[in-house]
Structure 1
Amino acid sequence: MASISIRDSIRWLPEPASEPTSTVVLTSPERRFVDIRILKPTSNGEAAENEVELPTSRLDWAFAGCSTSEVHNGVRHSTWRHFVDNRSSGAEEVTDEGNMVTQDDGRTLETGRMVNPATGRETNYEEIWTDTEPMPIPERSEALSIPSRVSKARCIVLELKNNAQQERGMVICLGHYCQGVVRKGEEFTLERWQWVDGKWERQYRMGSLWLPCVEATHGAGIVLGSKVKHEESVWDVVEYGEL
């Protein structure tokens, strides 16, 4: 099941809960995901909340991969295996996991244990997530370049893997959100887009590598199994369909 998950808070026990980031996770029907966590600006002169081009100092964590889940005694245990990760050049060696329990208000409580970046120590944590339904986006008339009809919400996933060039990336366009991450050697780039007021707007970008987010959001010429090429990089369309 595809999902758009927005984090409401994180708590490193026994400290109180807070939300220092703008965190959105897009998960496709085949359980591929892109997770981007942008630090909110502080009062020390950092860029404003609506700034699009961000310095690397504003990145908390960004990664992509594939997830699996198992249910035991009413608790869903999820595992996220990384394919590309800004924190690690060996992303496939990175796995994180947590227990997911639906709360009375419909939100999800995730509990687990991972390294707190503020202390460098493994710490028990609690995260609260709200899932948002993917919205259908109007298709555009090629002749008039205006919205024509509204179809079902759509999911498009593009993947890049070029071991010779040390390139890996993933872009997911899911309903009214699109996120992408790519790493080439030690270079890393991310983008987040959102459908706002009848058009796609780029919310955040960090880094200088190319990402096919525009191609994913517009969908022109994209079908399952097709390729999007940019210079020497070849992105494969590994998922495509309506929800």
Structure 2
Amino acid sequence: MVVQLSHRKSLRWVPGEPSEPTSTLVLDVGSYFVDLRILKSNGSIDWAMAGKRTILSESPQMKQRLSEDQVKCQWAKEICSQNTEAHDDIGEFEDLPNGDALEKGSMPNPDNNDEIQAYEEVWGGIDVPSSDEPAWILRSKDDNGITFVGKVGEYFQVLRKRGEGPFDALREQKEGDKWVEKYAVGEKLPSIKELGEGAFNTKSWRQDIDVEVAQ
């Protein structure tokens, strides 16, 4: 099962120059992802989404077209702060000599009247320390909306979409033996800093089953 943490190092709208206006962190566990991009300038959400990822290059057709160091992925968004759930995102990755990954694709550019434009993103990996605690992503749907809660290594991230409108986000990081809030946008969300790691009793958890989280 894939377990990884990725942070974006730069975004380039072709043919422009690369920059990084956000603090972007993606949690991947199995086929699920939680992706939060916060603007450094004001701490607001640039883009936030969660759902399922499919590696398309596993298909025979893609293997014939792509080289061995290329991967093509599709992201089906169940919740999205930009309300583009109906449109899956597709990108192709290739390894860079320094160990980073270059993603290429096309998507609406909010700085260009949402015109579809080619982009390039450079992604770096974050080491996930060895631990007896598993990585996980939970999904819930109730009167509050649809919520994704994820923990990978020393990072904890929560996204919630309330109906068709407001979007809430939380990112916390473990520093030493304490969890520290890095970003919080919108209404209050489940916090590992406040609830403690014991609230997420993972010993009995299995994939695709209902679980309870202490409040």
Both proteins in one fold, TM over 0.5: yes
Gaps spanning 5+ residues in structure 2: where?
A: 58-62
Matched, 1:59 2:45: yes
Alignment of 1:1-243 (within 5 A): 1-28=2-29, 30-41=30-41, 46=42, 54=43, 58-71=44-57, 72=63, 73=66, 74=68, 75-88=70-83, 91=85, 93-119=86-112, 120-136=114-130, 151-152=131-132, 154-162=134-142, 165=143, 167-185=145-163, 186-214=165-193, 218-220=197-199, 222-223=201-202, 224=205, 225-228=210-213
SS of the equivalent of 1:227 reads coil
1:132: Cα distance to partner? 1.2
The answer to whether the 8 A contact 2:178-2:193 is kept is no
1:227: Cα distance to partner? 1.6
Counterparts in 2 of 1:195 and 1:209: CA distance versus 1, 3 Å: closer
1:188: Cα distance to partner? 1.5
The answer to whether the 8 A contact 1:187-1:209 is kept is no
Amino acid aligned to 2:81: N
Amino acid aligned to 1:80: W
Identity %, equivalent residues: 30
Gaps spanning 5+ residues in structure 1: where?
A: 47-53, 137-150, 231-243
1:181-230 CA deviation, whole Å, 9 max, x = no partner? 01112222100011113211110000014335448860435231422376
Amino acid aligned to 2:157: Q
The runs of 4+ residues in structure 1 deviating greater than 3 Å are 212-217
> How large is the Cα RMSD of the aligned pairs?
2.1
Counterparts in 2 of 1:32 and 1:127: CA distance versus 1, 3 Å: same
Higher helix proportion: 2
